[in-house]
């Protein structure tokens, strides 16, 4: 049996016909083709499916899609403002926090929820907020660093590139830090020499 | 860069980050500095495309029926009721894919779908292609299979017993051999007995490593279709697209030029996706037979059935050392619990002995390693295949906190100690940090 429902996703209002047993994750991935949110375990253990509902992280793989009706859904595709990545996304890129990248969308949503509530989290608070998200590649350190850099960027308004260049010795020249699709801004990142 | 240029860096250890940075800044452009991956922003914005993110017009979904028996002969498979279910397009069984395959060309002992026997709970038996996943899953329950159960072996010692050889998991490759033994390697370097007799300290122990699995966050997934030029295309979450290409062509009896394998972004693997799997052959054959694109996505349970994680091992070690901290002799006997298929096992059997000396200069050593088939999910390579496990057996014994501490700590030269610490760090990192470093069961 199918049903037509209306969802509010990443600022868009979309109408979609789904089997009534579908989870929010199945609806996003297989009905709407928003494949950024990932299915890892399909049981609410790994956190790869984490999305934001009214700004708070939820596990989409164990949420019936009906529970998401009337709520503001944000997925990894909706974190950027237009073509400008969210500071979290920039920080994950610059720190190497996305290795295979499969847990990344869920971790970004959990971190986004944390920073909305706590703009200056300690390492322990970040650890706790991300405790529902498994990563098998990184060992988490680079992820924690990336969240700290994003938090500082959101507090001070500084470009994540400048914070990264100040904190770490970098191989890449600052000129390569500007992604091709990013509109040219005033900051090009500090020199690492 | 010439080899000599790297020498200063070899002398510095991970315990000296300042010195490392100093060297890096003076002579090296990259070591000690952060780099950035080219696809980082693609992944952090959700734009990277993994296999399950792909879809094709008219695509069917397939599901694999898995054995409920640990070891049994298949007497009959009847797919008639499944085929009659509305929405079911095709059912394939082992007889459609009779060519055996395996990642090591000398030990091809797997079939995409079991041919005559199932060898572990989870072994693939049949595959259904249907209009959607729900229909395919429902059809699996309608396939009727009659098994004749056989004795099964969950412990390598059981599989090595004489009576087990009468009902082996695989037919012996040479007459007179126990079919439950994939490979036995016995090698000796230097005068082990002579050196052992001269040792000031002898440490003996039995150790057990329980095995681990990779658990990538992305489950295995594969899609196949015939394209408009008659080319069979396969997208798969694999680490080995070229091996897969070769094996798909061989098993399906196609010219290699008629097969194209594409590796999309892979959501973690760690060795667990480094050989061809049942799902890739199933989607390929179903795409040929139905003329439509076909996808299989493993459930998390199926990821554990495909396994190929680090082998459980029973290790009996004798280590002899001199009073000045030199390891004179190692005598090792290892039994590897391989699970139901060969996978990389032939190589792992060699590694389990040949790499046991790393990173020391050991005067003499001998090993006797046997990889045994058991009726469990097959084991394979995982992060630094076979090295960390063997190395732990020698190193903690000899290291500052090990049993040899009173004599070995006293006098090793600076260079020896340095070399030991550097490699210790490397071994730790190659094991992914998920390791217990104390001696295992005594």
A62 interface with B at CB cutoff 8 Å: no
Q: B240 pLDDT exceeds 50?
A: yes
Q: Which two tokens stand for residue A192?
A: 């690492």
Considering only CB atoms, which chain A residues are within 8 Å of B56?
none
Q: List the single range of A166-175, B34-43, B75-84, B356-365 with lowest mean pLDDT.
A: A166-175
State whether B219 and A40 contact (CB < 8 Å). yes
What's the Cα-to-Cα distance from B160 to each of B165, B171, B374, rounded to whole Å? 7, 14, 10
Q: How far is CA B277 from the centre of its chain?
A: 12
Q: What is the pLDDT of residues A80-119, one digit of tens each?
A: 998 899 999 999 999 999 999 999 999 999 999 999 999 9
Q: What is the pLDDT of residues B243-257, one digit of tens each?
A: 999 999 999 999 999
State whether B41 and A179 contact (CB < 8 Å). yes
Q: Which of B23, B33, B34, B134 to mutate to test the interface with A (most CBs of A within 10 A)?
A: B34
How large is the average pLDDT for residues B157-169?
A: 94
Residue A168 has what pLDDT?
85
Binning pLDDT at 50, 70 and 90, where does residue B410 land?
very low
Q: Which two tokens stand for residue A121?
A: 């989290």
Name which of B279, B280, B321 is nearest B408 in CA terms.
B321
Residue B176 has what pLDDT?
84
Q: What is the pLDDT of residues B283-330, one digit of tens each?
A: 999 999 999 999 999 999 999 999 999 999 999 999 999 988 889 999
A170 interface with B at CB cutoff 8 Å: yes
How large is the average pLDDT for residues B345-350?
A: 95
Binning pLDDT at 50, 70 and 90, where does residue A1 land?
confident
Q: B358 pLDDT exceeds 80?
A: no
Q: Which residue has the higher pLDDT, A192 or B93?
A: B93
Q: B399 pLDDT exceeds 70?
A: no
Q: List the single range of A16-20, A54-58, B245-249, B410-414 with lowest mean pLDDT.
A: B410-414
Rounded CA-CA distance A64/A18 in Å is: 11
Considering only CB atoms, which chain B residues are within 8 Å of A38?
50, 217-218, 267
Q: Which residue has the higher pLDDT, B428 or B326?
A: B326
Name which of A6, A10, A5, A27 is nearest A72 in CA terms.
A10
Instruction: Scan for tokens 């040219």, then name that residue.
Output: A184
Rounded CA-CA distance A21/A55 in Å is: 25
Question: Is-contact A81 A87, C-beta < 8 A?
Answer: no
Q: What is the pLDDT of residues A119-177, one digit of tens each?
A: 999 999 999 999 999 999 999 999 999 999 999 999 999 999 889 988 887 776 655 65
Binning pLDDT at 50, 70 and 90, where does residue B424 land?
very low
Instruction: Please provide the average confidence, as pLDDT, over all residues in chain B.
Output: 86
Residue A174 has what pLDDT?
56
Nearest by CB to residue A89, choosing from B24, B25, B41, is B41
pTM: 0.86
Residue B3 has what pLDDT?
56
Query: How many cross-chain Cβ pairs, A to B, lie less than 8 Å apart?
Result: 132
Rounded CA-CA distance A104/B381 in Å is: 25
Question: Above pLDDT 90, what percent of chain B?
Answer: 72
Rounded CA-CA distance B71/B120 in Å is: 6
Nearest by CB to residue A38, choosing from B30, B45, B267, is B267
Rounded CA-CA distance B352/B338 in Å is: 13
Question: Is-contact A17 A83, C-beta < 8 A?
Answer: no
Residue B306 has what pLDDT?
94
Binning pLDDT at 50, 70 and 90, where does residue B38 land?
confident
User: Which residues share a beta bridge with B220?
Assistant: none
Question: Is-contact B372 B336, C-beta < 8 A?
Answer: yes
Q: List the single range of A8-12, B178-182, B273-277, B436-440 with lowest mean pLDDT.
A: B436-440
State whether A171 and B24 contact (CB < 8 Å). no
Q: B331 pLDDT exceeds 50?
A: yes
Chain B residues interacting with chain A (CB cutoff of 8 angstroms): 21, 24-25, 29-30, 32-37, 39-50, 52-53, 55, 134, 214-219, 265-270, 299-300, 432-433
Q: A179 pLDDT exceeds 90?
A: no
Binning pLDDT at 50, 70 and 90, where does residue B383 land?
confident
């Amino acid at each position: 049996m199918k049903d037509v429902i209306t969802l509010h996703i990443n600022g868009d209002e979309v109408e979609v016909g789904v089997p009534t047993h579908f989870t929010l994750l199945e609806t996003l991935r297989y009905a709407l083709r928003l494949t950024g949110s990932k299915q890892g375990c399909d049981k609410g253990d790994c956190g790869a499916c984490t999305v934001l509902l009214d700004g708070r992280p939820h596990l989409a793989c164990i949420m019936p899609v009906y529970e998401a009706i009337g709520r503001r859904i944000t997925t990894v595709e909706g974190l950027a403002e237009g073509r400008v990545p969210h500071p979290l996304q920039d920080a994950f890129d610059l720190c190497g926090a996305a290795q295979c990248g499969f847990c990344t969308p869920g971790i970004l949503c959990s971190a986004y929820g944390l920073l909305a509530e706590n703009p200056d989290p300690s390492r322990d608070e970040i650890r706790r907020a991300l405790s529902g998200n498994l990563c098998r590649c990184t060992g988490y350190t680079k992820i924690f660093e990336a969240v700290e850099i994003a938090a500082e960027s959101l507090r001070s308004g500084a470009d994540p590139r400048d914070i990264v260049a100040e904190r770490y010795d970098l191989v890449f020249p600052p000129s390569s830090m500007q992604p091709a699709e990013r509109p040219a801004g005033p900051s090009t990142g500090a020199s690492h020499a | 860069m010439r080899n000599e240029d790297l020498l200063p860096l070899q002398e510095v250890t991970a315990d000296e980050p300042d010195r490392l940075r100093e060297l890096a800044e003076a002579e090296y452009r990259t070591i000690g500095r952060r780099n950035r991956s080219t696809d980082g922003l693609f992944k952090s914005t959700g734009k990277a495309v993994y296999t399950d993110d792909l879809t094709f017009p008219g695509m069917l979904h397939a599901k694999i029926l898995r054995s409920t028996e640990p070891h049994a002969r298949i007497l009959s498979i009847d797919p008639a009721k499944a085929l009659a279910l509305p929405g079911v397009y095709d059912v394939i069984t082992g007889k459609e894919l009779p060519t055996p395959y395996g990642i090591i060309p000398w030990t091809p002992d797997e079939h995409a779908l079991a041919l005559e026997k199932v060898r572990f709970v989870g072994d693939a038996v049949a595959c259904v292609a249907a209009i959607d996943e729900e229909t395919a899953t429902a059809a699996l329950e309608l396939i009727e299979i009659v098994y004749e159960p056989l004795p099964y072996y969950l412990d390598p010692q059981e599989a090595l017993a004489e009576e087990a050889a009468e009902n082996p998991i695989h037919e012996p490759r040479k007459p007179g051999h126990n079919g439950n033994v994939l490979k036995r390697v016995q090698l000796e370097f230097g005068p082990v007995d002579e050196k052992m007799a001269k040792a000031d300290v002898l440490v003996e122990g039995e150790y057990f490593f329980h095995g681990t699995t990779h658990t990538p966050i992305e489950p295995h997934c594969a899609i196949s279709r015939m394209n408009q030029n008659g080319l069979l295309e396969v997208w798969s979450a694999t680490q080995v697209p070229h091996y897969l290409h070769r094996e798909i062509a061989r098993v399906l009896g196609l010219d290699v030029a008629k097969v194209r394998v594409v590796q999309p972004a892979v959501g973690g693997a760690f060795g667990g996706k480094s050989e061809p799997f049942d799902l890739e052959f199933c989607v390929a054959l179903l795409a040929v037979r139905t003329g439509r694109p076909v996808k299989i996505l493993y459930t998390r349970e199926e990821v554990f059935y495909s396994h190929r994680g680090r082998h459980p091992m029973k290790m009996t070690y004798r280590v002899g050392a001199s009073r000045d901290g030199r390891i004179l002799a190692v005598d090792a006997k290892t039994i590897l619990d391989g699970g139901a298929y060969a996978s990389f096992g032939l190589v792992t059997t060699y590694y389990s002995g040949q790499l046991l000396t790393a990173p020391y200069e050991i005067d003499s050593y001998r090993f006797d390693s046997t990889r045994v088939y058991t009726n469990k999910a097959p084991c394979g390579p995982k992060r630094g295949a076979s090295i960390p496990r063997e190395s732990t057996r020698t190193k903690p014994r000899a290291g500052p906190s090990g049993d040899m501490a009173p004599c070995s700590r006293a006098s090793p030269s600076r260079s020896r100690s340095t070399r030991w610490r550097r490699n210790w760090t490397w071994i730790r990192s190659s094991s992914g940090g998920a390791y217990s470093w104390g001696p295992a069961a005594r």
